[in-house]
Amino acid sequence: MESIPVEKNEKVTVSFTDLTQEGSGVAKVDGYTLFVPGALPEETAEVQVVKTKKGYGYGRLTRLIEKSSLRAVPPCPIYDQCGGCSIQHLSAQGQLDYKRRIVTDALERIGGFSGISVGMTIGMADPWKYRNKIQVPVAAQDGRFAFGFFKKRSHEIVNLDSCIITDPLIDKIVQTARHAAEDKGIEPYNEAKNSGVLRHIMARSGRKSGEVMVVFVTRTEDLPHRKALIKELTENYPQIKSIVQNVNKRRTNAILGNKTKTLWGRPVIYDQIGSVTFAISAQSFYQVNPRQTEVLYRKALKFADLTGEETVIDAYCGIGTISLFLAQKAKQVYGVEIVPEAVKDAQANAELNKITNAHFETGKAEEILPKWYDKGIRPDVIVVDPPRKGCEASLLKTMLAMKPQRIVYVSCNPATLARDLKLLVPGGYAIKKVQPVDMFPQTLHVETVALITRVKE
């Protein structure tokens, strides 16, 4: 076995040539790969080796010698500790270029495609303060009330006074809720003992409506001092239309439990994407960047190329966000979603918008679509917006059997997008357009809309 050319704790000077999909700089020492967080391509730096494995190792940036022209100064005071944003040190244009390359590389490396034209990533004019939802852990830490985000690769909380990628209003509201809870002596959650009361404080806002919901996630059925908390919040923030409590008694990393009760106001807030209004509950999946969501959905609608005569299937329809967008231009839309509560929300949202040409069913897309096919439903367009794991192989097989003219694939994971396209294209389709959208500036995530069209019967 060849020897490893570096040792743990050794300091070496290296030049960086690439970025990983985790945002670490990539350098070589005598052919041996080192991954170093915080480093950028075209930089030279002194690095301390912190871990070595047979084929690669990890390093810590100790001194920059030559800086990249794309390097930016992270404005967040806890950027180097917090695990939320990971590429604030990369300029806005650098982030857009990087995300496009992630998509291109996945299509080539995983999908085996060559010559695919990937559009320039659509970014934001102001890539800050965009999140309409914040959920902040609360914990007993060193005998104190800790409130903030988890430190990278740990369950230790970094105390947070403000988050610069969050809507400033809900940022202030969660801080007010935090101080009120602390002042009133509400016991923070102890993860090790599964004891205490308050686990998370969550807030979400409607960008167009201006409405705000506050959620107290507790381990216990009772929320002490809830009347005082409600008074403090509602007297200071008239934008708050809903205060709810979610009970999560389990030892779990999942934030929300199954039981939610309204403490004050409505159980939902409302917001609009384009001309469609949505009711949003504490449990609803609703994209956290509403400005870019509208960009994403309009791109999907454009790719669908609807004339008003088409039958459309929306797999993984959630609360109906894309379905109801499509229903404005389609003859009929069929949506399927595995979460029953989401389907109820989708049906309610259709009724709220007086949309009558959208039908929703609960179940697994890979099981419901064959039933629709057996009933004679023949879609002209299929839209999929799956979770990070991508589409089930059985669903892709059914989609091919249905032979739609167009498939619009909305993806939050370029790797599974490429994998699934590799299965779809040989079934008689060609990739026509691929468009990345920067839904989460300052982070590594990228959304992509891909259009594939039928080329043979």
Provide the annotated active-site residues: 412
How does DSSP assign 95-140, residue by residue? HHHHHHHHHHHHHHHTS---S--BPPPB--SS-SS-BSEEEEEEEE
Distance CA 31, CA 15 (A): 12
Return the SS3 of 212.
strand
Going by DSSP bridges, is the β-strand pair 276-280/269-273 parallel, antiparallel, or unpaired? antiparallel
Spatial separation of the C-alpha atoms in residues 85 and 442, rounded to whole Å: 5
117, 434 Cβ separation under 8 angstroms: yes
Structure tokens, 250? 């389990």
Q: Which helix (H) or strand (E) holds 204?
A: strand 198-205
β-sheet with 133-141: strand ranges across: 157-159, 144-150, 133-141, 198-205, 212-218, 240-247, 259-265
Residue type, 407: I
Element (H, E) at 18: strand 11-19
Question: For residues 449 and 435, is the Cβ–Cβ distance under 8 A?
Answer: yes
The token pair at 386 is: 């799956």
- 53 token code pair: 């494995």
Q: What are the CA-CA distances from residue 327 to residues 228, 261, 307, 352, 359 (Å)? A: 44, 32, 11, 14, 10
CB atoms within 10 A of CB 309: 9
CA distances from 201 to 120, 222, 381 (A): 37, 15, 40
- What gap in Å lies between CA 246 and CA 161, rounded to an integer? 24
Yes or no: say if 379 and 311 are a contact pair by the CB < 8 Å rule: yes
8-state DSSP, 284:
-
